[in-house]
């Protein structure tokens, strides 16, 4: 026992010393600090990586000084676990004295940080999480990403109008998936369509084979798919293996499944898939071409929509600081962000001054092959779409 008791003291002393060493945090007057909380490990790691890349790219292109203030980004990994997010956000606010928190790969993470943003009165810039309710949880939340109802509702309308009568749905079993299903179903059935089969796949490491078989057996005109970024590749591979691409069943969905950074790995089975989304790397604007070229040059891969969200998030922060003349308190920044509009690589976007949520074009796209690569080619545009999850109320 003696040995162990001594160990206790030494262990505790050593531990606390280490803790003290990591607690060093200096604060300079002329710096604006951004706490970037993203998942860098775990199942959502690709989201975090893209965000980090895009933020770095934006700062490389636009410099790290705005309105006389130096911008400092502090990157933290929350592995998409909300209690980590909350602790990291709290530490960033209390110890590092950040002016803005940003990032948030999944909805629970964004929700976990919401009370802190309210309490500390600092802006929370949501760069990914897409459940409708998020912006209602704090007056300091601004979202630059998307909401699922935006694209799912439009997809529902479009499908009903374009000769699709019977649809089977395959959606991930969590809040964004439920949002996508609900709004697609509402709009599709209102347009006279019929849902013949409805399956929900587990969020963690799903095996899609049995679900796809059920899709096939239901003999629909089309299957509507929502799975989170990153799962699309696996899903479409199994789709081809089961021979669904030969049955004439169309693939429709929100754009998450046809993520630009993964779609070349999915193979020709996805040719002709129609999705509704806010960004395609093939978007034909000068701004986007420059963005894609710069991103590919820097990281040697095609940017997906998450990268654009990170890029736009930084843009929003930079422009808000310009507008306030460098004043970095939460209320000034939020006031500056409300109603801000700019040209993003995805097209013209703005922040709704009432809901602080994103307003953007939703594009209907079809997968086509160009120069030996697969692209989402846009063929129809729905302008300035607000979040239907809120406009309905």
Partner 1 sequence: MRADHGVGEAVLRRARWGHGETAFWLIAVAAIFVFPDRYLILTEMAWLGLFALSLDLILGYAGIVSLGHAAFFGVGAYAAGLLAVHGIVKEPVLALVVAGLAAMVLGFATSFLVIRGSELSQLMVTLGIALLLRELANKFSDITGGFDGLQGIVIDPVLGLFAFDLFGKVGFIYCLAVLAVLFLLARLIVYSPFGLSLRAIRNNPLRAAAIGIPVNRRLIAIYTLSAFYAGIAGALFTQTTALASLDVFSFERSADLLLVLVIGGAGYLYGGLIGAVVFRVLQDMFSSWTPQFWQFWIGLVLVLIVLIGRERMYRGVQWLPRLVLRRIAAARGHAAAPDRSAS
- Site for partner 1, rule CB under 8 A: 1-16, 18-20, 22-23, 25, 40-41, 49, 75-77, 81-83, 86-87, 90-91, 93-95, 107-108, 111-112, 115-116, 119-120, 131, 173-175, 203
The whole-angstrom separation of Cα 25 and Cα 132 is 36
In the chain, the N- to C-terminal Cα span, in Å, equals: 66
- Residues near 275 by Cβ (< 8 Å), separated by ≥ 6? 151, 155, 252, 253, 254, 255, 257, 258, 364, 365, 367, 376
Looking at beta carbons only, is 123 or 220 nearer to partner 1? 123
Nearer to partner 1, 103 or 220 (CB): 103
Shortest separation between residue 357's beta carbon and partner 1, angstroms: 17
**Minimal distance, residue 82 CB to partner 1, in Å:** 5
- Minimal distance in Å, beta carbon 307 to partner 1? 16
Q: Which is nearer to partner 1, 113 or 225 (CB)?
A: 113
Whose tokens are 């999705």? That residue is 275
For 21, other C-beta atoms within 10 Å of its C-beta total: 8
Least distance CB 226 / partner 1 (angstroms): 14
Residue (of 258, 255, 304) closest to 281 by Cα position: 304
Nearer to partner 1, 129 or 321 (CB): 129
Q: Shortest Cβ distance from residue 76 to partner 1 (Å)?
A: 6
Cα–Cα distance between 20 and 234 in angstroms, integer? 45
Shortest distance in whole angstroms from residue 204 CB to partner 1: 9
**Distance separating alpha carbons of residues 269 and 48, to the nearest angstrom:** 28
Q: Which two tokens stand for residue 129?
A: 């999480």
Cβ nearer to partner 1, comparing 3 with 371:
3
Contact of 375 with 281, CB cutoff 8 Å: yes
**C-alpha neighbours within 13 Å on the C-beta side of residue 232:** 29
Question: Please, what is the minimum distance in Å from the beta carbon of residue 377 to partner 1?
Answer: 33
Residue spans of alpha helices (H) in the chain: 2-22, 45-62, 82-94, 107-120, 148-161, 175-190, 209-217, 232-241, 286-299, 305-324, 330-337, 388-391
């Amino acid at each position: 026992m003696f040995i162990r008791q001594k160990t206790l003291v030494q262990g505790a002393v050593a531990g606390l010393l280490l803790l003290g060493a990591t607690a060093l945090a200096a604060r300079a007057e002329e710096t604006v600090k951004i706490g970037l909380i993203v998942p860098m490990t775990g199942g959502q790691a690709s989201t975090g990586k893209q965000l980090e890349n895009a933020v770095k790219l934006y700062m490389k292109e636009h410099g790290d000084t705005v309105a006389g203030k130096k911008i400092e980004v502090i990157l933290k990994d929350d592995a998409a676990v909300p209690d980590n997010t909350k602790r990291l956000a709290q530490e960033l606010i209390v110890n590092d004295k950040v002016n803005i928190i940003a990032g948030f790969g999944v909805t629970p993470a964004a929700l976990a940080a919401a009370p802190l943003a309210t309490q500390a009165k600092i802006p929370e810039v949501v760069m990914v999480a897409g459940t409708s309710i998020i912006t209602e949880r704090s007056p300091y939340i601004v979202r630059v990403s998307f909401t699922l109802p935006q694209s799912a509702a439009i997809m529902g309308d479009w499908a009903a109008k374009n000769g699709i009568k019977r649809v089977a749905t395959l959606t991930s079993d969590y809040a964004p998936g439920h949002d996508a299903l609900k709004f697609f179903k509402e709009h599709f059935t209102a347009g006279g369509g019929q849902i013949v089969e409805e399956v929900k796949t587990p969020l963690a490491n799903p095996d899609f084979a049995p679900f796809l078989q059920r899709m096939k057996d239901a003999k629909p005109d089309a299957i509507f798919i929502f799975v989170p970024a990153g799962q699309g590749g696996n899903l479409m591979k199994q789709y081809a293996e089961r021979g669904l691409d030969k049955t004439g069943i169309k693939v429709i969905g929100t754009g998450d499944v046809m993520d630009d950074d993964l779609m070349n790995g999915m193979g020709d089975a996805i040719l002709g898939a129609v999705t509704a989304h806010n960004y395609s790397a093939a978007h034909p604007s000068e701004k986007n071409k420059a963005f894609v070229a710069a991103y590919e040059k820097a990281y040697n891969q095609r940017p997906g929509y998450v990268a654009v969200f990170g890029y736009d998030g930084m843009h929003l922060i930079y422009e808000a600081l310009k507008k306030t003349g460098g004043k970095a308190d939460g209320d000034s920044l939020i006031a500056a962000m409300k109603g801000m509009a700019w040209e993003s690589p995805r097209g013209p976007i703005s922040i709704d001054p009432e809901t602080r949520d994103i307003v953007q074009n939703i594009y209907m796209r079809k997968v086509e092959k160009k120069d030996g690569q697969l692209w989402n080619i846009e063929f129809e545009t729905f302008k300035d779409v607000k979040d239907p999850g809120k406009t309905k109320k």
